[in-house]
Homo-oligomer: A and B are copies of this chain.
Amino acid sequence: MNQVLSPVGRMAAGGGLKTITFGPDHPLLLSSGQVLSPLTIAYETYGTLNADRSNAVLVCHALTGDQFVGSVNPLTERPAWWPRVVGPGKPIDTNRFFVICTNALGGCMGSTGPSSIAPDGQPYGLRFPVITIADMVRAQAMLIEALQIPTLFCVIGGSMGGMQALQWASSYPKRVHSCVAIATAARHSAQNIAFYEVGRQAIMADPEWRDGDYARHETRPAKGLAVARMAAHITYLSEPALRTKFDRSLQARDAVSFGFDADFQVESYLRHQGQRFVDRFDANSYLYITRAIDYFDLAADYGGVLAHAFRDCPARFCVFGFSSDWHYPPEENKAIVRGLIAANCDASYVEIDTDKGHDAFLLEEPHFESALTGFIDAAAASRGLPLKAEAA
């Protein structure tokens, strides 16, 4: 791919990650009015771009995800995060499609973010500009242009990834053949803003955060970030799932300890989630990305009318909701579909009955996978793509 990229960027190989860097001749104009330059986008690809350049799928990750949608992250050694959806023979079949996944702008897996080095040679920290979902999408669009892909066959994502997918259809309606928005909303709710604010306050309350300037020091605001993760994690699981999985079961003991150890399995699980997270995620990235999500309100730039955000978008849409998701509940998922229908878009809605909550899109959900396969195959046919990889 290096050759393709050379006209507009230079490839870097920081930490074994695939990246593209855009210099001062290609600044990123942000929603805030500020400009970000230089800009590095770290990304991963799977499969082969066809001769027509018509089989590209952009996968957008969620808040704490990364670009390793279909393979092990070489730095964290965590496995692929969507192995049931992306891979050979999967709904997004890497034998047929050229799959691209970028680390989101503001992230901490190679793309420019608050832990990146600013032009003055020091880490940005809180000097990093506050970004939006639209900014993340603008940065992705620069990569897609650099890859000389005029139109994406599909843009797809869950949670924050779904917001990006919707933003793509709104910002670049002619450059998206199909759009899949999963377990997401067209606007972040007050309750969700509240949960993110708790997380940010937990990080900022940690003295190791040092007003965002911890990069110059040996220590990190790990305790605050762990609390933030714990609070958010509760919203990713349904109450029935917590009841089924943990209920009031004790952790490796027969009776409560009359103390503040993790007596209950659910406590032990949450602490573990918090601890694991701080090893792989940057506290300032957490602040910036949650803020971008808070700010997401697709209708706001269109007089509050969601349909206007999708006007003239010829893409085929599929919106997925999960019945027990209370982070982005079916009511919010359906509000997207109502906006699409009001805009006369080609839109389907699939609601999966599950008790797995918001995280269901990352877990085993056969009905979700089969419905997604059906949508992708129909969209591929309408794009003139061969139905089977071996027919290519």
A residues sitting closer than 8 Å to B (CB atoms) are 31-32, 34, 126, 129-130, 187-191, 193-195, 197-198, 200-202, 204-207, 223-224, 226-227, 230-231, 234, 239, 242-243, 245-248, 256, 258-260, 262-264, 266-267, 270-271, 274, 287, 291, 294-295, 297, 326
Contacts and interface: CB of A to CB of B under 8 A. Distances in A.
Contact of A242 (B194, B207, B247): B194
A8 B392 CA distance: 91
A266 B246 CA distance: 31
B201 A247 contact: no
A227 B202 contact: yes
Contacts of A227: 198, 201-202, 205, 227
B295 A256 contact: yes
A287 B261 CA distance: 12
A195 B31 CA distance: 35
Most chain B CB within 10 A, of A191, A270, A297, is at A191
B234 A205 contact: no
B190 A248 contact: yes
A201 B239 contact: no
Contacts of A260: 126, 130, 200, 204, 287, 291
A297 B256 CA distance: 12
A344 B81 CA distance: 52
Contacts of A239: 189-191, 326
- 6 A-B pairs closest in CB distance: A205-B223, A32-B258, A130-B258, A190-B242, A190-B246, A190-B266
Given A190-B266, A242-B190, A267-B194, A202 B202 contact: yes
A258 B189 CA distance: 18
Nearest to A257: B130
A129 B326 CA distance: 37
A34 B243 CA distance: 31
A210 B123 CA distance: 31
B194 A266 contact: yes
Contacts of A191: 234, 239, 242-243
Given A197-B266, A267-B194, A189 B242 contact: yes
A32 B205 CA distance: 34
Most chain B CB within 10 A, of A194, A270, A291, is at A194
A326 B223 CA distance: 28
Contacts of A242: 189-191, 194
